[in-house]
Amino acid sequence: MSRFFTRFFSGLFLIFCFSGAFALDFGGVFVNDSEFRFRDGGSYINQTDSVTLWGEMGNSALSFGIEGFYEFKFLDGNVFHNLDLNLARLNIRSPDSGLFDIKLGRIYKSDLTGYILGQKLDGVDFMFNFPKVSFGFYGGYTGLTNTNTTKMVSPSKSLITDGLYPLNVGTVIGGLSLSTSSLIVNQDMSFEVMGLLDAETLEENRVYFSLLSQGLIAGNWLYNASSTLALGIGDFYGKPEVSNLSALEFIRVFKGWHSSLRLSGLYASGFDNGDNCFYPVTALSVLPCSEVTIVPSSLVLLGIAGTAKPMDNLYAELRFQNQFDSGNFSYYGLSYSGKVVYSVFSDLQLSLCLGQHYLVSGTNYVECSLSLMTLF
């Protein structure tokens, strides 16, 4: 096996060297994050340090990129070490026409809605672009990714989190997408079908059907609307189970300070007894400065957010969100956050984030973090 990989990468390197306009680029990122966290009556000081190294060689038609990182965490009094390979993919594209873009290897993939899938996987991603229509298909395996850095949702399994590189849930993910640009009243429409196969036990399989629409309403108002039906199949569900996740967002763009106002709502089906709960593939983060994640099942989220960029090197955002139980629409909790990012130099960035996640059940997170990011 080692001889195969040696020959493969040696041959790949020779191809790049003898191809036109060959280029080699590399670099790294160091991130230092200090966080104060108040949770359920206790206070913690957490520290996270990470180093990311990346490299890419090739040209506009054929390239190979690789990226990996090491992370040290002192979290709630415990020490964690994480090692991961973020990227290792061969990229083939048509440089002139932009007709196709093909990625093979370890890739990052997200679904069209942005609420279901957003993570690394090992597989392929094909995208074909035409003036008014684009379509793509992808497939991959998640069982070789790191559980601690790729947070997946698997209600029927206990995730392994111990060690430097604990392996994730073994699932096979595949999807097809079709997008149109300004075909109907200058609106962009997209459709995607994605399947998740439980490769370990076949107990928890899901198929997602998503429809997305976005475009200009009037003046400086834009909208994004999406709805996804999920079909759960397997012993975990018993009989086939249908669930839904729908989202609507209105965006007002202002000329001053490159600012915007966002009004958003999200509905995810589900009941207390576990029926018709919507389960995504990847867990969602509640706050931009938090590691708190949620499974958006049995939830209604209503939010407002504002962003501004008063200077080229300064960015700020405020977010507020109310949460309700979609089963009986009872009040569930709230979250809010504020974030400021300041670019001191082109390769040095500081950010400050403050947020709270409060649930009526008694769970309470208050977090303040200061981050420094350096490029080298």
Please indicate, yes or no, whether residues 257 and 129 belong to a single structural domain of this protein. Answer: yes
Range of the domain at 49: 1-86
Please indicate, yes or no, whether residues 229 and 112 belong to a single structural domain of this protein. Answer: yes
Partners of 52 in the β-ladder: 29, 69
pLDDT at 275 over 90: no
Q: How many CB atoms lie within 10 A of CB 182?
A: 12
> Residue 180 falls within a domain, yes or no?
yes
Please indicate, yes or no, whether residues 235 and 342 belong to a single structural domain of this protein. Answer: no
> Residue 350 falls within a domain, yes or no?
yes
pLDDT of residue 15: 60
User: pLDDT for 103-114, tens place per residue?
Assistant: 999 999 999 999
> Residue 291 falls within a domain, yes or no?
no
282-294: average pLDDT: 70
User: pLDDT for 120-169, tens place per residue?
Assistant: 999 999 999 998 899 999 999 999 999 999 999 888 888 888 889 999 99
Instruction: Give the pLDDT band (50/70/90) at residue 9.
Output: low
Please indicate, yes or no, whether residues 9 and 35 belong to a single structural domain of this protein. Answer: yes
Please indicate, yes or no, whether residues 163 and 211 belong to a single structural domain of this protein. Answer: yes
Q: How far apart are the C-alpha atoms of 227 and 270, rounded to whole Å?
A: 15
* Higher pLDDT, residue 18 or 214: 214
Partners of 93 in the β-ladder: 101
- Single residue among 32, 53, 86 that ends a domain in this structure: 86
pLDDT of residue 341: 97
User: pLDDT for 157-198, tens place per residue?
Assistant: 888 888 899 999 999 999 999 999 987 778 999 999 999 999
> Residue 166 falls within a domain, yes or no?
yes
> Residue 287 falls within a domain, yes or no?
no
pLDDT at 337 over 80: yes
- Single residue among 56, 86, 116 that ends a domain in this structure: 86
Please indicate, yes or no, whether residues 107 and 256 belong to a single structural domain of this protein. Answer: yes
Please indicate, yes or no, whether residues 53 and 181 belong to a single structural domain of this protein. Answer: no
pLDDT of residue 273: 56
209-236: average pLDDT: 94
pLDDT of residue 38: 85
Please indicate, yes or no, whether residues 40 and 141 belong to a single structural domain of this protein. Answer: no
> Residue 290 falls within a domain, yes or no?
no
Instruction: Give the pLDDT band (50/70/90) at residue 307.
Output: very high
pLDDT of residue 290: 64
Average pLDDT value over all residues in the chain: 89
- Single residue among 35, 59, 86 that ends a domain in this structure: 86
pLDDT of residue 330: 86
Instruction: Give the pLDDT band (50/70/90) at residue 18.
Output: low
Q: What percent of the chain has pLDDT over 70?
A: 90
| Cβ 276 vs Cβ 242: under 8 Å | yes
Domain count, the chain: 3
> Residue 93 falls within a domain, yes or no?
no
pLDDT at 242 over 70: yes
With DSSP H G I counted as helix, E B as strand and the rest as coil, what are the percentages for the chain, rounded to 5? 5, 65, 30
Please indicate, yes or no, whether residues 63 and 194 belong to a single structural domain of this protein. Answer: no
Q: How far apart are the C-alpha atoms of 138 and 177, rounded to whole Å?
A: 9
Please indicate, yes or no, whether residues 258 and 131 belong to a single structural domain of this protein. Answer: yes
Q: What percent of the chain has pLDDT over 90?
A: 63
Please indicate, yes or no, whether residues 110 and 41 belong to a single structural domain of this protein. Answer: no
pLDDT at 97 over 80: no
Q: What secondary structure does DSSP assign to 175-239, as a single string?
A: EEEEEEEEEETTEEEEEEEEEEEETTTS--EEEEEEEEEEEEEETTEEEEEEEEEEEEESTTTSS
Please indicate, yes or no, whether residues 145 and 220 belong to a single structural domain of this protein. Answer: yes
> Residue 28 falls within a domain, yes or no?
yes
